[in-house]
Structure 1
């Protein structure tokens, strides 16, 4: 009898490769990702016809209702929300770029002398402090040497309105060794004046207290100023069609100084940009322009500097950046400053358009070459990228940086927008080659 053999195991089907098992899951995940991308992809909002029929007068009435718009105040935040809504209704996609800074906020102060206490206000920019010393009456335009000769060292300066900026007065008091400044605000205007932060109290009292305070000269007093410096958050509003290629950029700053509704500085510029957005809405030109409202301009061009730094690659092909600042005041006829070639194009498109030169405060070095970065408005950071700029301006009015800056000339605002549109059409019609980076060896530079 033959020995019994063990049954041979039946052949089994080999296991499928790992990639075949993972493929369905990968395909499903890809489909989910693609669907999510499609759902979350930015889209152009629908153009609301009612938004196209609004007038500049209606825009100003709405904007003025928010009051002063320094960053960190409710009026500012409400204005940002309203502007976002207006641009969205015109069919543009709006992106809010967060801009942060620190700003000083006056928390009150006192002048304490024998027999009475008087409230004082910190000068904007001052850091506050407390000093007990003698009040020394000084001429507001005196030199530091003269102030020191009058005994100001380690004492408190008592003075009236200077002929120049308050910052210069505070600097002269500091150089003379003064430990604080009490300024009787008898200035004819109510413009916001800013000083540099020092560890000493820099304060004002109203002109109504002039006689009472001047009588304190020579007495020892205690001057207290409480200032809180806290972070604030603003927003650049970047307005565009989703796939727009920025051949041109219209810009203006949306913030104001403390206490001023900024009718001309710079609601007039904001209204101009909004009017241009309305003019371009629903046209092919809308896909070739960006509209940007910059924040924290009044605190040192902080918003525009951040915008240029963040979007530098996308901005290099720009034919020009058009900036609007104080264009609703009949101080002077509309004039422009900026790139020579752009000014030439602008004057050909708008015969009789004036031009001016911004005073150069200093130069910037670029691998051995120097060029002025001039001006005090939001076109300046664009110059750093060698982007051509055109700055629209009508000069300062009598209410610059004051609570009385409430009446931009809306006819001039519309006139500015109309002329800017004509200039833009001429710029877009020209052949253009973007500026190239100079490189280390300074080749192929265009200035």
Structure 2
């Protein structure tokens, strides 16, 4: 696993600039969150994590409210994929209907974008498409429109990594990692059997919302605190949570805190449920926002830079040089800023890339120095953005 190279001069400069941020306190926060085990939405571990965040925020001087919501989640009971009789380690995608499908494999060319589906005859087939480019749910709908009975999404991540459609797919869908899945691209026409075995359950999630002023905020800073089954979720996304929590502590005595709400979202891993419900339930707050800043997976230096994506008018406010940070681009979707962007709010997404432990039991570490650096960049954006208010 790659880490950011910290020279002596760079380390001293960062520590001087990030003086308000306590590396020891952030390390303690990480330990407290990981001690709960996988923070799957609706479980006692997630509830304990929410209580911990609320207590720390109250201790810092914030008013805190839990926003409760419910949604339906599917649980995999043993999905299977067999190609010419060979079993492959496929995993059902959350939001997939249950069912057993038999048919020939048809490979969607290219990256599996909308144009790649054009002209394909998928009647009675099991479509095979690469994941990415456009949402998996859109790929499933495009495949269904052309007659496919099911879809296999090939991922860059290892087999067994869990994904969600973020909605209800019209056809059964599974994922398969690159090592096992690349072979399917050369097996067009092979007979396959796909069986998705799932059960539905109702989940009760809770967002943790903190503010210093009862007035409507001009900026919302957030991160999701839930993780996937089997994963302690250190980088995904205790890293973002701890950075936001420490930023809230640092700003508690600053006038900036009067214009900012800090929100810790639940249910992100099941389809952005917490952020979607916040947008739905707080329309007046959302209409008044100048920006939503979202931190997700910022504790492992995967790409050698801090990725910042989102609205161009906000990206120019990120002065990475002030903290000796190397900054690059970040993908536009897949996390809790998306519902806000869809509601017309300018957004920034802070992201360091998918590390090898993504959604795995080995996601156990995040670097507090990287969290401090990320929080410092976010603070700089707030300092540049909020003086623009009338």
Same fold (TM over 0.5): yes
Displacement after TM superposition at 1:73 (Å): 3.0
Question: Which of 61, 66, 70 does residue 36 from structure 2 map onto?
Answer: 66
Q: 1:79-94 residue pairs with structure 2 within 5 A?
A: 79-94=49-64
- State the distance in 2 between where 1:319 and 1:169 align: 33
- State the distance in 2 between where 1:339 and 1:201 align: 35
Q: Are 2:367 and 1:397 equivalent residues in the alignment?
A: no
Q: Are 2:69 and 1:99 equivalent residues in the alignment?
A: yes
Equivalent residue number for residue 315 of structure 2: 343
Query: 8 Å contact 2:306–2:328 — kept in the other structure?
Result: no
Q: Are 2:13 and 1:56 equivalent residues in the alignment?
A: no
- TM-score w.r.t. structure 1 length? 0.62
Displacement after TM superposition at 1:416 (Å): 1.1
CA RMSD of aligned residues (A): 4.7
Query: 8 Å contact 1:191–1:399 — kept in the other structure?
Result: no
Question: Which of 245, 261, 266 does residue 295 from structure 1 map onto?
Answer: 266
Q: Aligned to 2:267, what secondary structure does the other structure show?
A: coil
- State the distance in 2 between where 1:380 and 1:421 align: 21
Deviation string for 1:23-76 (max 9, x for gaps)? xxxxxxxxxxxxxxxxxxxxxxxxxxxxx9961111111111223223233322
- State the distance in 1 between where 2:227 and 2:344 align: 28
Gaps in structure 2 of 5+ consecutive residues: 1-21, 111-115, 181-188
Residues 319, 229 of structure 1: CA spacing in aligned structure 2 closer, same or farther, 3 A cutoff? same
Query: 8 Å contact 1:99–1:295 — kept in the other structure?
Result: no
- State the distance in 1 between where 2:232 and 2:317 align: 34
Deviation string for 1:381-424 (max 9, x for gaps)? 33455444332222222233333322222210111112322332
Query: 8 Å contact 1:104–1:227 — kept in the other structure?
Result: yes
Deviation string for 1:93-145 (max 9, x for gaps)? 21111222211112346799xxxx999864443221245x5x75777979989
Question: Which of 253, 271, 278 does residue 242 from structure 2 map onto?
Answer: 271
Query: 8 Å contact 1:108–1:226 — kept in the other structure?
Result: yes
Residues 226, 346 of structure 1: CA spacing in aligned structure 2 closer, same or farther, 3 A cutoff? closer
Deviation string for 1:207-233 (max 9, x for gaps)? 99xxxxxxxx99998x76432223212
- State the distance in 2 between where 1:119 and 1:389 align: 37
Deviation string for 1:260-291 (max 9, x for gaps)? 33222222111111111221234444333211
Equivalent residue number for residue 6 of structure 2: none
Q: Aligned to 1:332, what secondary structure does the other structure show?
A: coil
- TM-score w.r.t. structure 2 length? 0.69
Q: Are 2:206 and 1:235 equivalent residues in the alignment?
A: yes
Q: Aligned to 1:67, what secondary structure does the other structure show?
A: coil
- State the distance in 2 between where 1:431 and 1:200 align: 48
Question: Which of 334, 343, 346 does residue 306 from structure 2 map onto?
Answer: 334
Deviates more, 1:183-192 or 1:331-340: 183-192
Residues 342, 349 of structure 1: CA spacing in aligned structure 2 closer, same or farther, 3 A cutoff? farther
Residues 188, 327 of structure 1: CA spacing in aligned structure 2 closer, same or farther, 3 A cutoff? closer
* Greater Rg by CA: 1
Query: 8 Å contact 1:108–1:120 — kept in the other structure?
Result: no
- State the distance in 1 between where 2:38 and 2:162 align: 12
Query: 8 Å contact 2:164–2:270 — kept in the other structure?
Result: no
Query: 8 Å contact 2:130–2:155 — kept in the other structure?
Result: no
Deviation string for 1:157-178 (max 9, x for gaps)? 699xx75468799779867866
Query: 8 Å contact 2:26–2:246 — kept in the other structure?
Result: yes
Deviation string for 1:240-279 (max 9, x for gaps)? 1254562432211222234333222222111111111221
Gaps in structure 1 of 5+ consecutive residues: 1-51, 209-216, 360-373, 434-447
- State the distance in 1 between where 2:315 and 2:357 align: 29
Q: Aligned to 1:261, what secondary structure does the other structure show?
A: coil
- State the distance in 2 between where 1:187 and 1:180 align: 21
Residues 85, 200 of structure 1: CA spacing in aligned structure 2 closer, same or farther, 3 A cutoff? same
